[in-house]
Amino acid sequence: MARLVVIGGGAAGMAAASRAKRLNKSLDVVVFERTGWVSFALCGIPYHVGCIVKRLDDLLYYPPEEFIKKRGIDLRLYTEVTGVDLDSKTVYYRNLKTGEEGKIEFDYLLLATGARSKAPKIWPEINEAENVFYIKHLDSAREIRDYALKLKTGSRAVVVGAGYVGLELADTLSGLGLKVTVVEALDHVAPRTLDPDLAEQVEEELKTNGVEVYTGTPVKEFKISNGKATAIVTDKGEIEGDLFIVGVGIEPNVDLAKEMGLRIGETGAIWTEEHMRTSVDYVYAVGDAVEHKDLVTGRMVWRPFAPIANKQGYVAGSNIAGREAIFPGSVGTSTFKTFNMVVARTGLSKAEAEKLGYNAIEAKLNARTKAHYMPGSAPLTLKVVADADTGKLLGAQAVGKSDTILWRINVIASLLTTGGTVWDLFASDIGYAPPLAPVWDALIVAARLLMRTLGEKPRKQ
């Protein structure tokens, strides 16, 4: 009987294990996970912190029993892999609860070792502070929430980093009655998602909801006293707090891959080809430890996003079981919501496109989410970027107080995935109904604006 050993029981690892076992019932599938959780949704952590998701178990796609009893997977929790010998195809492991050590041979090996925070490397002093948190695993959600709930109403929570996790936490921590300060090293909030002009709307939403925002403010160090952080030190002075959460700086966890001698890609993550094989034929890698191709630029990128990880796991599991599948890449779609503001983007910004050598043009417009005469219509701001030489779509960003922001960006994402053009966007048969969308949707209007430069007739490619 052939055996697959999976290292890492997150969503990607369990997707691969489940897919391989489903397609090949005779395959012996063993999963090692160093925590007590598998198939978990780390993206749900801010909502458990804010008591929106009541039970930590609700952040599991499936409980461990699903994989053990129903799917026939040998799941070994609280078990750390200590080494891999590729010559003998052997994995060495240790049970973190009992200390028991063992080894197991494999025919196929899959790495799903994920990503980790760089916070303790950047600020080593936080390891001595009981009130400084960063996301290490699913239990981090409980640890942050328990500490936050012990604080008095009006206590100060300082969130370092104004990316999507930091801004989601700013929202949910405010909902617990804490005063929140967000500190961002770069010059505007959501710096890797939005252009500065769209980010202004997000910052205004934060301030309207009582969040104090510092941008262009790198954190030099944490002041620690009696085992607790009391303040962060910046060029703009010290910022005091009772609870600190670091939401910046993650990196692919490639230590084991390096020890095994696997090829590490140009992004610093594990290199794989489109079947999710590494540089060793019988070793696969998936998820947040892996780089892949950007379908807009053709470059290799590292994007630690859950939808990508799940697809990669599915593809790897299929190939291990003997059914060919490929993961072609992604276009960089991301979204988040903070308070009432929805943010979404896909592909490249105009500045990013120009840096890569594209002759980029951009349409920006303010529009409505419904027909102008319908109640509940909300404003949105949309940007769409294209290549002036070919008409190829390159990216889009949108902000607004409506969940429909995301579906509009998803339309662009779908076109980016297939190499779509501005004329394809104009011709898109987007649904219309007055309470749902205007007859001239913002997406179609953006295409019309770009066609003023490109011309009305599609160019031959």
- In whole angstroms, give the CA distance from residue 289 to residue 11: 13
Tell me, yes or no, if the pTM score tops 0.85.
yes
Cβ-Cβ contacts under 8 Å for 433 (sequence gap 6 or more)? none
Residue 325 sits at the vertex; the CA angle it makes with 87 and 24, to the nearest 5 degrees, is 65
Cβ-Cβ contacts under 8 Å for 297 (sequence gap 6 or more)? 348, 356
Q: What is the pLDDT of residues 382-399, one digit of tens each?
A: 999 999 999 999 999 999
- In whole angstroms, give the CA distance from residue 416 to residue 296: 7
Regarding whether 289 and 236 lie in a shared domain, the answer is no
Q: Choose one of 222, 248, 274: the last residue of a domain.
A: 248
Segments forming the whole domain that contains residue 60: 3-115+251-320
- In whole angstroms, give the CA distance from residue 461 to residue 452: 19
Q: Choose one of 224, 248, 272: the last residue of a domain.
A: 248
Active-site residue, 51 included: no
Residue 298: pLDDT over 70: yes
**HSE-CB for 443 with a 13 A CA cutoff:** 29
Domain assignment present for residue 352? The answer is yes
Regarding whether 145 and 25 lie in a shared domain, the answer is no
Domain assignment present for residue 153? The answer is yes
What is the total count of domains within the chain?
Answer: 3
pLDDT computed for residue 60 by the predictor: 83
Residue 156: pLDDT over 90: yes
**What's the sign of the alpha-carbon dihedral 283, 287, 290, 291?**
positive
Domain assignment present for residue 461? The answer is no
If pLDDT is split at 50, 70 and 90, which confidence band does 96 have? very high
Token couple for 356:
């890569």
Residue 331: pLDDT over 80: yes
Q: Which of 365, 370, 360, 364 is nearest to 392 (CA)?
A: 360
Q: What is the pLDDT of residues 404-420, one digit of tens each?
A: 999 999 999 999 999 99
Regarding whether 164 and 18 lie in a shared domain, the answer is no
Task: Out of 2, 23, 36, 43, pick the active-site residue.
Answer: 43
CATH of the domain at 133: 3.50.50.60
- In whole angstroms, give the CA distance from residue 298 to residue 309: 19
